[in-house]
């Protein structure tokens, strides 16, 4: 009797199906013939177990789903084969949290795991955070970090000098059992400006209505200098009174949203002498920049 065994793939993505199968043959009157109707068991321990019956051509096949790496041993009534190693590539999950780009704060963070459930996170593994100028690289390792016991990892950095940090980022784990780059993400800053940005009046009585209007434009900081209308941008108008700073307490005058041409308009009540500006946000709530400031006087305030 002769039994063969092989895996359709020895490296699979997490959740991907693969099979372990082969043929069972024997000698009959000096000829090798397929053996049908024999039960073959494939044992991978926690990685999976299964069995199959050989067909008329002596073939058998057992299907598995990649969850964890394992060694699968093929067994039958009269013996067993050497085990077959199947590795599983984990999918590292990554996200980019961008705070105020003008402040230059960016955080790459995520979780390394081999299944959706937290108990299967990959703790204390070495991760390589890499940067490339394009989605296809070439990639350069910027930072090596280790995941925490719950699989979480992070890398905060400053893009105050945009040219040094802008581009595409990914996370890679180069272990022998688990491997897989995370989703590639782009880190970029934006330049914004407000054209036709004006007040209906620059001198207003306290609590009188003032209209502010303009058009929001932007250009990505990765390349190019041509501006485009910031369609349906979320915006808010802020004011700092005399003696205060933008980084300090800022009065929020109104929320609004630009139209399909990037134009916006809103009315608020004057309450102090100072400067006003518009802050622009994406739909996801990420602040991408400010307009230039306008001066307004409120006598006695």
* 185 close to 280: Cβ distance less than 8 angstroms: no
pLDDT of 103 reads: 47
Structure token pair of residue 217: 């434009």
Is the full-model pTM beyond 0.95? no
Q: Which residues of the chain have pLDDT under 70?
A: 90-92, 94-105, 114-120, 158-166, 174-184, 186-190, 220-225, 248-249, 284-286
Structure token pair of residue 159: 């893009």
Of 230, 219, 216, nearest to 188 (Cα)?
219
Note the pLDDT tens digit of each residue in 158-177.
Answer: 665 444 566 778 888 765 44
Helix (H) or strand (E) holding 89: strand 84-89
pLDDT of 154 reads: 87
C-alpha span between 73 and 244 (Å, rounded): 73
Instruction: Give the chain's length.
Output: 301
C-alpha span between 233 and 182 (Å, rounded): 29
pLDDT of 102 reads: 47
Work out the angle at residue 156's Cα, subtended by the Cα atoms of residues 150 and 160, and round it to the nearest 5 degrees: 170
Burial of 223 (0-12, 13-18, 19+ CB in 10 A): exposed
pLDDT of 24 reads: 94
* 265 close to 212: Cβ distance less than 8 angstroms: yes
Say how many CA atoms lie within 13 Å of 182 toward its Cβ: 25
Say how many CA atoms lie within 13 Å of 40 toward its Cβ: 29
* 223 close to 283: Cβ distance less than 8 angstroms: no
Note the pLDDT tens digit of each residue in 190-244.
Answer: 677 888 999 999 999 999 999 999 998 887 655 556 788 888 888 888 898 887 8
Cis peptide before 4 (omega within 30 of 0): no
pLDDT of 205 reads: 94
Q: How far is CA 18 from the centre of its chain?
A: 27
pLDDT of 99 reads: 46
In the chain, what percentage of residues exceed pLDDT 90? 32
pLDDT of 96 reads: 62
* 24 close to 54: Cβ distance less than 8 angstroms: yes
Between the alpha carbon of residue 10 and those of residues 21, 59, 70, 84, 87, the distances in Å are: 13, 20, 10, 8, 6
Work out the angle at residue 150's Cα, subtended by the Cα atoms of residues 148 and 151, and round it to the nearest 5 degrees: 65
C-alpha span between 141 and 139 (Å, rounded): 7
| Maximum CA extent, the chain | 114
């Amino acid at each position: 009797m002769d039994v063969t065994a092989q895996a359709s793939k020895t490296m699979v993505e997490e959740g991907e199906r693969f099979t372990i199968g082969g043929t069972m043959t024997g000698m009959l009157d000096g000829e090798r013939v397929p053996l049908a109707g024999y039960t073959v068991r494939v044992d991978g321990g926690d990685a999976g177990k299964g069995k199959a019956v050989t067909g008329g051509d002596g073939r058998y096949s057992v299907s598995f789903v990649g969850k964890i790496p394992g060694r699968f041993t093929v067994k039958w009534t009269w013996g067993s084969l050497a085990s077959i190693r199947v590795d599983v590539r984990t999918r590292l999950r990554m996200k980019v949290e961008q705070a105020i780009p003008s402040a230059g704060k960016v955080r790459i963070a995520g979780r390394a795991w081999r299944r959706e459930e937290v108990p299967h996170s990959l703790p204390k593994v070495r991760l390589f955070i890499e940067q490339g100028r394009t989605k296809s690289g070439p990639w350069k390792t910027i930072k090596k970090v280790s995941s925490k016991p719950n699989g979480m990892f992070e890398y905060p950095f400053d893009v105050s000098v945009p040219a040094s940090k802008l581009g595409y980022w990914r996370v890679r784990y180069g272990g022998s059992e688990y491997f897989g780059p995370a989703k590639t993400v782009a880190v970029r800053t934006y330049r914004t400006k407000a054209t036709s940005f004006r007040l209906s009046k620059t001198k207003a009585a306290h609590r009188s209505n003032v209209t502010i209007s303009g058009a929001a434009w932007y250009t990505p900081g990765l390349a190019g200098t041509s501006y485009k209308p910031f369609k349906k941008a979320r915006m808010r108008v802020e004011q700092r009174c005399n003696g205060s700073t933008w980084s300090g307490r800022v009065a929020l005058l109104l929320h609004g949203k630009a139209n399909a041409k990037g134009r916006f308009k809103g009315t608020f009540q004057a309450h102090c002498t100072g400067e006003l500006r518009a802050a622009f946000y994406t739909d996801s709530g990420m602040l991408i920049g400010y307009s230039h400031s306008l001066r307004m006087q409120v006598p006695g305030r």
